[in-house]
Amino acid sequence: MRTTPYKTKYKLVKRILIVDDNAINRKYARSVLKVGLWHIEEVESGEAALQLLAKESFDLILMDIQMPGMDGFECLKRIRADFPHISCPVLAVTAFSSGRERSAFSEAGFQALITKPIKPSELRNAVTEWLSSSDHKAHLIIHKEEKTDQIIDISVYEDLKRYTRSDSVIDIYEEFEKETSDFLEQLNFLVPAKNYPEILSILHTIKGNAGSLGLLILANHTRQMEGKLKEAHYENLMGDFDLLKGQFSSFVDNYKRLLK
């Protein structure tokens, strides 16, 4: 039986569950969604989501797809099998983009596919729409990237500041710097070793995080690298990796000044 949602003096509080293994993604989504009459919970794995759903109810679930262990597809399949009473919309949040991949989401039972990168206002609008709608027909919410040679798309930063304090937004960029620096250290070993599956996993994460934060130079380059590796074009990997390191260094050297 579905439990009664939390109540305020006047309205029911909508409850949102964020399922994502990446701490930056969770912090980004929480920062954008915490302003409003919404209660946010977050977990870092599909297994943890199932444990929480056995005890608590939610009005909407934001589900990352590419997670270690149980991915988003398997998690949704388990939710539908183990908790048939749960009817809330489940929105996939992912950087997948091909038509074939998109069709797999609706076939799996996701109510919407939100493609990364997605701007803060777009994420809030999508969540607001689904929380206020009784029509759970599946559709796509696709962010169209702007081509730019700027280190940071300042409009994304300004959009984030609408929903949280400036220092909290800076914290997200600083966390991206630390995590990406660690990823590049790993790639220093993985690229010469030609460990393509691990390289792809790291590039996928950097691409999604960079795009969501408006770091379009980094996002576009990692997307190109990812595409080449998926097509087994390995010949320029070392040069592409060197360029990625240079782009990241430029970001580190400039972002705090640009975000003042």
Domain extent for 219: 154-258
Domain count, the chain: 2
Q: Does residue 2 sit within a domain?
A: no
Cβ atoms of 94 and 72 closer than 8 Å: yes
State the virtual CA torsion across 10, 14, 15, 21 in degrees, nearest 10: -140
- Cα 82 to the center of its chain, rounded Å: 25
Confidence band, pLDDT 50/70/90 cuts, at residue 99 = low
Length of the chain: 260
One domain, residues 66 and 173: no
Give the model confidence (pLDDT) of 41-56 as tens digits: 999 999 999 999 999 9
pLDDT at site 119? 80
Question: Does residue 129 share a domain with residue 24?
Answer: yes
Q: Which stretch of 47-51, 222-226, 245-249, 254-258 has the lowest confidence by average pLDDT? A: 254-258
The H or E element spanning position 16 is: strand 14-19
Cβ burial, residue 2 (10 Å; 0-12/13-18/19+)? exposed
Residue found by looking up tokens 């977050």 in the block: 42
In this prediction the pTM is: 0.79
Taking 90 as the threshold, does the pLDDT of residue 151 lie above it?
A: no
Same domain? 235 vs 190: yes
CA 118 to chain centre: 8
Q: Within the chain, where are the H helices? A: 23-33, 46-53, 72-82, 99-108, 120-132, 154-161, 166-193, 196-212, 216-230, 237-258
What is the maximum span of the chain, computed from C-alpha positions, in angstroms?
63
8-22, 50-64, 103-117, 161-175: which is most confident: 50-64
Is the pLDDT at 197 greater than 90? The verdict is: yes
Whether 147 is in a domain gets the answer no
Between CA 147 and CA 71 the distance in angstroms is 31
Q: Which of 142, 176, 202 is the last residue of a domain?
A: 142
Partners of 212 in beta bridges? none
Residues 99 and 219 placed together within one structural domain of the fold: no
Instruction: Verify that 58 and 125 share a domain, yes or no.
Output: yes
In sequence order, the 6+-apart residues with CB closer than 8 A to the CB of 204 are 66, 95, 226
Residues 215 and 108 both lie in one domain: no
- Among 142, 167, 196, the domain boundary falls at 142
- pLDDT (tens digit, 9 = 90+) per residue, 3-37? 444 443 444 678 999 999 988 999 999 988 887 67
Amino acid 139 reads H
